[in-house]
Chain A
Amino acid sequence: MKPAAMPDSPAMTHPRPGKTRIVMGVIGDDIHVVGNRIIQLALEESGCQVFNLRTRNRPEHFCQAALEVNAQAIFVSSLNGEGEHWCAGFRQRLQEIGMGDVLLYVGGNVVVGKRPESEVIALFKGYGFDRVYHQRPDIGPAIEDLFKDLAHGQTQ
């Protein structure tokens, strides 16, 4: 039950070879921080090196950080539903900076209001996300999926 270390920003931590490097953060003007901290802890407990951008990020912040640390995956969170607006064209932005093969995950309450999950998944797959977790209680399955996807080198 040893707590994981918590690096705070990419600037303070250098990428370590041999570890899965993940850029994560909350998108939009969303300031919901509790889930953000929990996801960081969970990823670090799984042995990943985490670069947590924390709250209030634009897509370019994720892309820039992914480039800086040569990330293998990006975890985008949205609690207030702003994700729908900000995530459009996310994959294309990554391709433009030569990071098109990064795994791209999104989760939280990613759209405003009640909508069928299948519709939400299709929407974000259209934006270029590999995995979509809408209103799921636990980050565990997403981390399992991450290691599967990394093993298969699967991105869109």
Chain B
Amino acid sequence: MARPSDKARLRHTDRQREQVLAHPLARGLCPDEVGRFLAEVPQRRFPSVAYAQRGRLPLIQPRGGVPLFDAQLALTKALSDAGADFIPLTIDSCTRHNQYDTAMQLLRRSEEEGHSYLNGYPLVCHGHELTRQLYAGLDKPVSLRHGTPDARLLVELAIGSGIAEIEGGGLCYCLPYSEGFPLDRALLYWQYVDRICALYSTPERPIHRESFGPLSATLVPPAMAIVIEIIEALLAAEQGVLSFAVSFGQTGSFTQDVATACVLRRLVREALDAHGFQAMQVHLVYHQWMGQFPMQRERAAALIAGSALIAGVIGADKIVVKTVDEALGVPSAEVNAEAVDTVRYVLRTFAAPAMIDSSSIAAEAALLASEAGSILEAIYGLSGDMFWESVYRAFQLGWLDLPFSPHADNANRLLTMRDANHSIRIVDPGAVPISPADAASERRLLSGRVDEASTTYRQILADIMLMV
């Protein structure tokens, strides 16, 4: 039995670090120089400072990454001018899969032909010295958005560029993003990432970590997302990370969104405190609808406005926004800037009450808390010397089971559907250790659904296409 503990902290990272930084694309990055650089960048580049100074409204973060330096610079300026509180740096998928040679070739081609052959900014190819120049004079945090199971080199270079928010985690950046990357390896590599974030942190200037709660963004039951978020917060805390954000994606149900926010916020704090990690600060991030978006821009705009309102209601610390061109591909800088403005308009105009309450929300929250609590307790009880080993074991047993994960080792036995209120319900828990009473509640709540005569696959398809 291995509960989370700071005894799991990596003690000897030096040799592994030497190996990571020996890569030619690390370009001689020197941790001491990076430490001095981080001490000199504006303090508002650190998310904990931005969060501490947050007013009544959630902070706003768009998404964005393009291959060419000049275009990324222009995008950064456009988003900052539009009022984004966090500046994104989205990384291309070749880099996410550690295919730096391919990324380099496609970057050169993009430069020569003036056309984007990469779907993000290839930070490892550009290097940290050039990337620092993207943010000269910027006084707001930059967030690294990727999806990389082995992000050791990427994160070294990102922090070296002055990026103080690192999204990801061993579970959330492996199971939704990789077909074959071994999960145990991803967990170990993310221990390294967490550890170097901690090593660069000072109490006033902590490198901030954020987990990616939307996961596969396809009918993920909130209890599973809550459990994965809490696990990643604990794993980061073990390595000494001081500033963290848990997140989740819009579920498609107002009730479930409010309940998820309540339960996630409460349980993550309880889990951290129970294991001696009172020092870790935790924030809550809400992702606008991450599933299939409508093609019609009017509908997309309505969806964006609606979910901005929910972010206000749940008192999210930050909202990550979508654009009206989501269904069409990577948005232009202008469309991206418009999205920031739209979301700010909704947040400002519909001053939401702090956390609404109702009997249906309370019932949903009680169910989610019970389910998440059962799963977590079961994992704590698994054998292993370290908590990460229990987490890996839970995945092997199908206790952690992510619907629509592409990962070859995912159990795929957990089956979910929407109820009449669009809340995501567990039809069959598979091996996921929720109590029989909770499983019965899930099935009872599903019974109000009207299209029972239809085939299961057509119902699930309709559930996935909810917002289209």
List residues of chain A with CB under 8 Å of any chain B CB.
Answer: 1, 3-4, 6, 8, 31, 33-34, 37-39, 41-42, 45, 54-56, 138-140
Contact A3 B452 (CB under 8 A): no
Contact A33 B464 (CB under 8 A): no
Contact A4 B218 (CB under 8 A): no
- 27 residue pairs of the A-B complex, CB under 8 angstroms, read A1-B427, A1-B456, A3-B415, A3-B428, A3-B456, A4-B456, A6-B413, A8-B412, A31-B179, A33-B405, A34-B218, A34-B404, A37-B404, A38-B460, A39-B457, A41-B457, A41-B460, A42-B455, A54-B179, A54-B408, A55-B179, A55-B406, A56-B179, A56-B180, A138-B458, A138-B461, A140-B458
Whole-angstrom distance between the alpha carbons of A42 and B457 in the complex?
5
Residues of chain A within 8 A (CB-CB) of B452 are 1
B371 to A: closest C-beta gap in Å = 18
B425 to A: closest C-beta gap in Å = 12
Contact B457 A54 (CB under 8 A): no
Contact B456 A54 (CB under 8 A): no
Q: Which of B406, B455, B458 has the most CB of A within 10 A?
A: B406
Residues of chain B within 8 A (CB-CB) of A140 are 458
Whole-angstrom distance between the alpha carbons of A8 and B405 in the complex?
13
Whole-angstrom distance between the alpha carbons of A55 and B428 in the complex?
24
Closest to A29 in B: B179
Contact B412 A37 (CB under 8 A): yes
List residues of chain B with CB under 8 Å of any chain A CB.
Answer: 179-180, 218, 404-406, 408, 412-413, 415, 427-428, 452, 455-461, 464
A53 to B: closest C-beta gap in Å = 10
Residues of chain A within 8 A (CB-CB) of B218 are 34
With A33-B404, A54-B179 already in contact, 13 other A-B pairs whose C-beta atoms are closer than 8 Å = A1-B452, A1-B459, A3-B427, A3-B428, A3-B456, A6-B413, A8-B412, A38-B457, A38-B460, A38-B461, A41-B456, A42-B455, A55-B406
Whole-angstrom distance between the alpha carbons of A55 and B410 in the complex?
13
Whole-angstrom distance between the alpha carbons of A140 and B458 in the complex?
9
Closest to B454 in A: A1
Residues of chain A within 8 A (CB-CB) of B413 are 6
Closest to B406 in A: A33
Residues of chain A within 8 A (CB-CB) of B428 are 3
Contact A34 B412 (CB under 8 A): no
Residues of chain B within 8 A (CB-CB) of A31 are 179, 406
Closest to A5 in B: B413
Residues of chain A within 8 A (CB-CB) of B460 are 38, 41
Whole-angstrom distance between the alpha carbons of A6 and B412 in the complex?
7
Residues of chain A within 8 A (CB-CB) of B179 are 31, 54-56
Closest to B427 in A: A3
Closest to B430 in A: A6
Closest to A54 in B: B408
Contact A34 B464 (CB under 8 A): yes
Whole-angstrom distance between the alpha carbons of A107 and B248 in the complex?
33
Closest to B218 in A: A34
Whole-angstrom distance between the alpha carbons of A4 and B427 in the complex?
11
Whole-angstrom distance between the alpha carbons of A39 and B457 in the complex?
8
Closest to B451 in A: A1
Residues of chain B within 8 A (CB-CB) of A4 are 456
B459 to A: closest C-beta gap in Å = 8
Whole-angstrom distance between the alpha carbons of A80 and B455 in the complex?
27
Whole-angstrom distance between the alpha carbons of A34 and B415 in the complex?
13
Closest to A139 in B: B457
User: Shortest 6 CB-CB distances between A and B: which pairs?
Assistant: A42-B457, A33-B406, A41-B457, A3-B415, A31-B406, A3-B428
Closest to B447 in A: A1
Whole-angstrom distance between the alpha carbons of A56 and B415 in the complex?
23
Whole-angstrom distance between the alpha carbons of A8 and B408 in the complex?
9
Residues of chain A within 8 A (CB-CB) of B461 are 38, 138
Q: Which of B179, B428, B457, B458 has the most CB of A within 10 A?
A: B457
Closest to B180 in A: A56
Whole-angstrom distance between the alpha carbons of A54 and B457 in the complex?
17
Residues of chain B within 8 A (CB-CB) of A8 are 412
Closest to A33 in B: B406
Whole-angstrom distance between the alpha carbons of A41 and B458 in the complex?
9
Residues of chain B within 8 A (CB-CB) of A6 are 412-413
Residues of chain B within 8 A (CB-CB) of A39 are 457
Closest to A4 in B: B456
Residues of chain A within 8 A (CB-CB) of B180 are 56
Whole-angstrom distance between the alpha carbons of A1 and B452 in the complex?
7
Whole-angstrom distance between the alpha carbons of A85 and B456 in the complex?
33
Closest to B452 in A: A1
Which listed residue (A34, A45, A56) contacts B456, Cβ 8 A? Answer: A45
Whole-angstrom distance between the alpha carbons of A37 and B456 in the complex?
12
Residues of chain B within 8 A (CB-CB) of A45 are 455-457
Q: Which of A4, A34, A38, A140 has the most CB of B within 10 A?
A: A34
